[in-house]
């Protein structure tokens, strides 16, 4: 079988062994984002060619696209930790911080904390919303959690780590009417009692007439 041609930019190194065949390695020279010249060595020519192609493709991207690709690899948990220090603790009230931290640990971190930012799209947010509701999480808490993550992703968009905010695109569940009993004020009780007495007097007059 004919040997595959080695592209320019890939260096072949051969190491002879006394007790075995000659071992070949394939090195690719490249510059990292900081401009430092580096070398990456592979055991197969195919891996070296694949690395070289991906690196050249990345260099052709616009700066904002490259920033999104690199930033989007960060997990939501990693970004949230940074966001908490740089934004939440500076901009939010202490009471809001307590609510957000509770929602994060209870609902968001176990389900999305290990997911890369670039992998969180509208479809995943819809699934996340459904998981919370199916687990019996109250609608109010679900809405609060989604609103919190929408705020987190808003800053991720501003940083250029992601291109859009999927939590803004997904509809939040309807809270619905509250079933919590609202106690009557003393004045309302007095008026209700007076109305009942008058209604009862009217009925007696009608039947006695």
Give the tokens for residue 63: 């700066």
Q: Are 45 and 26 in contact (CB under 8 A)?
A: yes
pLDDT of residue 52: 77
**3-class DSSP assignment, residue 41:** strand
How is residue 117 annotated by DSSP? G
Domains in the chain with CATH codes = 10-60 (no CATH), 76-169 (1.10.150.130)
Residues 133, 164: Cα–Cα separation, whole Å? 25
Q: Given its phi and psi angles, is residue 13 left (phi above 0), alpha (psi -120 to 50 degrees) or beta?
A: beta
Please, which pLDDT band fits residue 174 given cuts at 50, 70 and 90?
confident
Q: What is the pLDDT of residues 80-137, one digit of tens each?
A: 999 999 999 999 999 999 999 999 999 999 999 999 998 999 999 999 999 999 999 9
Strands (DSSP E) along the chain, which ranges? 10-15, 23-31, 37-42
């Amino acid at each position: 079988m004919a040997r595959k041609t080695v592209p320019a930019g890939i260096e072949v190194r051969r190491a002879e062994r006394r007790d075995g065949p000659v071992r070949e390695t394939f090195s690719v020279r490249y510059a990292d984002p900081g401009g430092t010249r580096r070398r990456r060595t592979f055991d197969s020519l195919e891996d070296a060619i694949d690395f070289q192609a991906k690196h050249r493709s990345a260099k052709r991207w616009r700066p904002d696209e490259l920033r999104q690709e690199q930033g989007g690899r960060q997990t939501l948990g990693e970004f949230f930790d940074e966001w908490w220090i740089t934004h939440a603790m500076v901009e939010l009230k202490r009471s809001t911080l307590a609510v957000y931290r509770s929602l994060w640990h209870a609902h968001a971190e176990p389900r999305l904390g290990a997911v890369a930012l670039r992998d969180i799209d509208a479809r995943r947010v819809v699934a996340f919303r459904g998981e919370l509701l199916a687990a019996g999480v109250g609608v109010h808490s679900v809405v609060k959690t989604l609103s919190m993550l929408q705020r987190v992703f808003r800053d991720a968009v501003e940083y250029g780590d992601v291109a859009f905010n999927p939590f803004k695109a997904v509809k939040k569940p309807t809270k619905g009417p509250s079933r919590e009993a609202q106690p009557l004020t003393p004045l309302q009780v007095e008026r209700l009692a007076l109305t009942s007495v008058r209604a009862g007097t009217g009925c007696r007059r009608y039947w006695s007439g």
